[in-house]
């Protein structure tokens, strides 16, 4: 596993210093004083990924990368606005989520789909997001709770999500049969789809786990209503694992459904 260190922003005050120390303790990784050095220099010197604890957000740089990963609701913000206007949401149509449902996102990533799911299931529902990389999980968990927005429904939807740092198959094996209405699979795309820089930075520092028969079988066992897969339109995952493909002619990704 790549070594990880924590440092402060370029011109830290006492608050930034204390935040960096807290992150260091939370994750059990070394704190390295910034000393006006660039992130690339620190990364090279310590041969490590660098987590920068700034006032407004945590930024995670892969070794040798100049583009950090950080939490942002990304597409969820404008998707939520469209939902409120009564427009369709292909993800929700594929999941068929209802108020008070439970939803398990096996590949949380930046959390955009989980936020929409949380909005759909409401306060009486439950959304759990799995993230195998502990640093990504930490950043997203804090971001979901601490991100500042005046959009109350977005804020509440983010706050309700429970982030679990665990590998998906390992977590699924610990769950009872039919313990979540919907289980969602969005493995790291074989081909790049998202245009956001944040998605690209996630590809650099995140963990990549290919979809397997064991993963799909465990997801099917744990799901009460359906398993939903999101993948590139050229992906053979739909046919390989028996998903009913929901073709979207104007999109680069499709959804697949395994009904119970």
Query: pLDDT digits over 100-122, tens only?
Result: 999 999 999 889 999 999 999 99
What pLDDT was estimated at residue 188? 65
> Strands 58-61, 102-105: parallel, antiparallel or unpaired by DSSP?
unpaired
Whole-number Å distance between alpha carbons of 5 and 244: 44
Residue 166 CB-density burial (10 A; 0-12 exposed, 13-18 middle, 19+ buried): middle
pTM of the complete model: 0.91
Q: Which helix (H) or strand (E) holds 104?
A: strand 102-105
Domain range annotation of the chain: 4-61, 76-259
Has residue 191 got a pLDDT over 50? Answer: no
Backbone φ and ψ of 206, nearest 5°: -80, 170
Residue 66 DSSP one-character state: S
**CATH topology for 76-259?**
Rossmann fold (3.40.50)
What pLDDT was estimated at residue 196? 46
Residue 88 CB-density burial (10 A; 0-12 exposed, 13-18 middle, 19+ buried): exposed
Has residue 202 got a pLDDT over 70? Answer: no
Residue 187 DSSP one-character state: P
Helix (H, G, I), strand (E, B) or coil at 255: strand
Does 4-61 match 76-259 in CATH topology?
yes
Has residue 208 got a pLDDT over 90? Answer: no
| Cα 142 to chain centroid, rounded | 12
4-61 architecture in CATH? 3-Layer(aba) Sandwich (3.40)
What pLDDT was estimated at residue 193? 45
Whole-number Å distance between alpha carbons of 117 and 101: 9
Label residues 188-199 b or e (16+ Cβ within 10 Å = b): bbeeeebeeebb
Whole-number Å distance between alpha carbons of 77 and 81: 7
The CA-CA-CA angle for residues 183, 249, 208, to 5°, reads: 40
Q: Answer for the pair 228, 104: CB distance below 8 angstroms, yes or no.
A: no
Q: Sorting pLDDT into bands at 50, 70 and 90, what band is 74?
A: confident
Q: Which residue has the higher pLDDT, 62 or 181?
A: 181
């Amino acid at each position: 596993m790549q070594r990880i260190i924590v440092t402060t922003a370029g011109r830290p005050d006492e608050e930034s210093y204390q935040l960096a120390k807290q992150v260091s303790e939370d994750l059990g990784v070394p704190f390295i004083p910034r000393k006006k050095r660039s992130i690339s220099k620190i990364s090279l010197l310590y041969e490590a990924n660098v987590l920068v604890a700034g006032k407004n957000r945590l930024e995670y740089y892969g070794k040798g990368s100049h583009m950090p990963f950080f939490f942002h609701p990304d597409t969820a913000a404008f998707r939520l606005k469209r939902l409120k206007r009564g427009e369709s949401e292909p993800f929700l149509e594929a999941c068929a989520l209802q108020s008070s449902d439970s939803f398990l996102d096996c590949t949380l990533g930046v959390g955009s789909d989980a936020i929409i799911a949380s909005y759909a299931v409401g306060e009486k529902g439950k959304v759990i997001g799995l993230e195998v990389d502990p640093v990504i999980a930490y950043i997203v968990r804090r971001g979901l709770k601490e991100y500042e927005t005046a959009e109350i429904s977005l804020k509440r939807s983010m706050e309700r999500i429970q982030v679990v740092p665990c590998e998906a198959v390992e977590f699924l094996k610990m769950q009872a049969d039919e313990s979540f209405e919907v289980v969602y699979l969005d493995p790291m795309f074989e081909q790049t789809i998202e245009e956001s820089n944040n998605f690209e930075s996630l590809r650099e520092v995140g963990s990549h786990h290919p979809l397997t028969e064991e993963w799909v079988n465990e997801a099917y066992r744990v799901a009460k209503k359906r398993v939903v897969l999101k993948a590139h339109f050229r992906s053979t995952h739909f046919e390989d694992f028996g998903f009913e493909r929901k073709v979207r002619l104007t999109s680069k990704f499709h959804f697949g459904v395994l009904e119970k």
